[in-house]
């Protein structure tokens, strides 16, 4: 078996094990919450017989390990259960499947993450390469100062500053990202511009500084010195010699930040009232809608693990020396 294929299969196996551990921790954490889910969902006006029937219908009367295996088997088959929302004290079931609730929200979150990635990744690479090219210049110091300033502020502060400047004062973008299934593509882009810009300002500093540091670290290598002695222009040295060998750490930090774009958008979605997975999870936590919380958390965990696996694979392909650690 080829070493790259073997390494990919090993990382994939570790990812599945990690996802299993995450599911176990997630299910256990929710089970240990105080209070009774039946009473919390149906309300204090529900009769004891209704609460008992509700608990039996959802399997809440079974031991914890049996409920975990049933839930895990449902996850593996794509059945995340039904949402608790839509149930009242009468016990009437107007709930919807979690997958039906999660699907459109996940599409919205991925669209927002893709918009931010399209802006932030090329911008971070450009700033990192040019900052390394003009190291210790006024341009380098200015870029570092600006990116460190944006990353020092929390997401909600950056979001409110952008709303104040680009929505309240200048009326360029709307302050709320009200999108729906019928929203056209360019209108969706316009409505999600402020959330995407907020995420870009938050994550671009990580990628820019890693790109700059990786290239500068390679500039002291013997083959770089030889290229300089041969009179090769500095821009060509960075782009053709240093950058290909610096891809491993750069791709890793890009993957981490792309995972953040999907997993860490909760605050941004709440600020802009954007109908994504983060907003859905916050609403589910407020109403103690356990199946929806579990489904959102598992989607976040799977996304993070898959992007880390992707970063490992790209790092190995771009730098085969990682297959033979010292």
Residue 81 lies in a domain: no
Rounded CA separation 120/199 (Å): 8
For the stretch 54-80, pLDDT in tens is 667 666 667 777 888 888 888 888 777
Task: Confirm if 133 and 238 have CB atoms less than 8 A apart.
Answer: yes
Task: Confirm if 41 and 87 have CB atoms less than 8 A apart.
Answer: yes
Q: Last residue of a domain, which of 24, 55, 76? A: 76
Which residues, other chains included, contact 31 with Cβ-Cβ below 8 Å and sequence gap of 6+? 64, 67
Same domain? 167 vs 309:
yes
For the stretch 302-322, pLDDT in tens is 888 888 787 777 777 766 665
Same domain? 71 vs 138:
no
Q: Is the pLDDT of residue 123 over 60?
A: yes
For the stretch 107-122, pLDDT in tens is 888 899 899 989 998 9
For the stretch 135-151, pLDDT in tens is 888 998 999 898 888 88
CATH number at residue 204: 1.10.3720.10
How buried is 113 (Cβ within 10 angstroms: 0-12 exposed, 13-18 middle, 19+ buried)?
buried
Same domain? 131 vs 71:
no
Looking at the chain, the whole-number percentage of residues with pLDDT higher than 90 is: 4
Q: Is the pLDDT of residue 86 over 70?
A: no
Residue 235 lies in a domain: yes
Rounded CA separation 55/52 (Å): 5
Dihedral angle of Cα 222, 225, 231, 233, to the nearest 10 degrees:
110
Average pLDDT, integer, range 99-110: 87
Q: Is the pLDDT of residue 88 over 60?
A: no
Same domain? 246 vs 164:
yes
Same domain? 114 vs 29:
no
Planar angle of CA 134, 199, 176, nearest 5 degrees: 140
The pLDDT confidence band at residue 90, using thresholds 50, 70 and 90, is very low
**Number of separate domains in the chain:** 2
Rounded CA separation 250/218 (Å): 13
* 3-class secondary structure, 174: coil
- Residue-range definition of the domain harbouring residue 264: 106-323
Same domain? 121 vs 72:
no
Q: How crowded is the C-beta side of 318, counted as CA atoms within 13 Å? A: 18
Residue 88 lies in a domain: no
Task: Confirm if 82 and 98 have CB atoms less than 8 A apart.
Answer: yes
How buried is 213 (Cβ within 10 angstroms: 0-12 exposed, 13-18 middle, 19+ buried)?
middle
Task: Confirm if 148 and 316 have CB atoms less than 8 A apart.
Answer: no
Residue 142 has a pLDDT of 92
Looking at the chain, the whole-number percentage of residues with pLDDT higher than 70 is: 85
36-45, 184-193, 220-229 — most confident range? 184-193
Residue 46 has a pLDDT of 65
- Residue 72 structure tokens: 């895990």
Report the mean per-residue pLDDT for the chain.
80
Residue 89 has a pLDDT of 46
Same domain? 54 vs 173:
no
Task: Confirm if 246 and 314 have CB atoms less than 8 A apart.
Answer: no
Rounded CA separation 274/116 (Å): 14
* 3-class secondary structure, 45: coil
For the stretch 145-198, pLDDT in tens is 988 888 888 888 888 999 999 888 888 888 888 888 888 888 889 989 999 999
Residue 96 lies in a domain: no
Q: Last residue of a domain, which of 76, 95, 120? A: 76
Rounded CA separation 262/110 (Å): 7
Residue 116 lies in a domain: yes
Rounded CA separation 72/21 (Å): 12
- Residue 191 structure tokens: 């409505």
Q: Is the pLDDT of residue 94 over 70?
A: no
Residue 91 has a pLDDT of 46
Q: Which residue has the tokens 């489904």?
A: 295
Residue 269 has a pLDDT of 87
- Residue 241 structure tokens: 């010699």
Same domain? 31 vs 153:
no
Residue 97 lies in a domain: no
Computed over its alpha carbons, how large is the radius of gyration of the chain? 24
pTM given for the model: 0.80
Q: What does each C-alpha distance from 225 to 42, 140, 232, 235, 291 come to in angstroms?
A: 72, 22, 10, 14, 59
Q: Which residue has the tokens 């460190």?
A: 148
């Amino acid at each position: 078996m080829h070493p790259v294929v073997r390494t990919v299969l090993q990382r994939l196996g570790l990812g599945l094990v990690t996802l299993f551990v995450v599911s176990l921790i997630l299910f256990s954490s929710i089970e240990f919450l105080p209070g009774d889910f039946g009473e919390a969902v149906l309300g204090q006006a529900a009769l004891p017989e209704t609460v008992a029937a509700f608990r039996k219908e959802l399997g809440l009367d079974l031991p914890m390990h049996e409920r975990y295996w049933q839930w895990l088997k449902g996850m593996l088959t794509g059945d995340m259960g039904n949402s608790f929302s839509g149930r009242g004290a009468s016990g009437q079931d107007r709930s919807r499947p979690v997958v039906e609730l999660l699907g459109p929200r996940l599409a919205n979150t991925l669209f927002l993450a893709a918009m931010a990635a399209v802006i932030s990744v090329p911008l971070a690479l450009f700033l990192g390469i040019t900052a390394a090219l003009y190291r210790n210049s006024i341009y380098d110091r200015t870029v570092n100062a600006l990116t460190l300033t944006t990353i020092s502020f929390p997401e909600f502060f950056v979001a409110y500053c952008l709303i104040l400047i680009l929505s309240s004062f200048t009326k360029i973008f709307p302050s709320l990202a009200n999108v729906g299934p019928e929203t056209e593509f360019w209108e969706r882009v316009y409505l999600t511009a402020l959330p995407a810009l907020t995420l870009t300002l938050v994550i671009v500093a990580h990628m820019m500084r890693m790109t700059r540091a990786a290239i500068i670290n390679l500039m002291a290598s013997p083959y770089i010195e030889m290229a300089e002695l041969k009179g090769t222009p500095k821009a060509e040295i960075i782009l053709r010699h240093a950058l290909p060998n610096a891809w491993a750490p750069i791709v890793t930090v890009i993957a981490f930040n792309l995972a953040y774009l999907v997993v860490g958008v909760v605050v941004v979605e709440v600020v802009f009232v954007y109908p994504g997975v983060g907003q859905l999870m916050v609403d589910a936590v407020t109403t103690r809608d356990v199946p929806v919380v579990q489904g959102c958390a598992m989607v976040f965990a799977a996304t993070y693990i898959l992007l880390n696996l992707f970063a490992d694979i790209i790092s190995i392909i771009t730098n085969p020396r990682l297959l033979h650690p010292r």
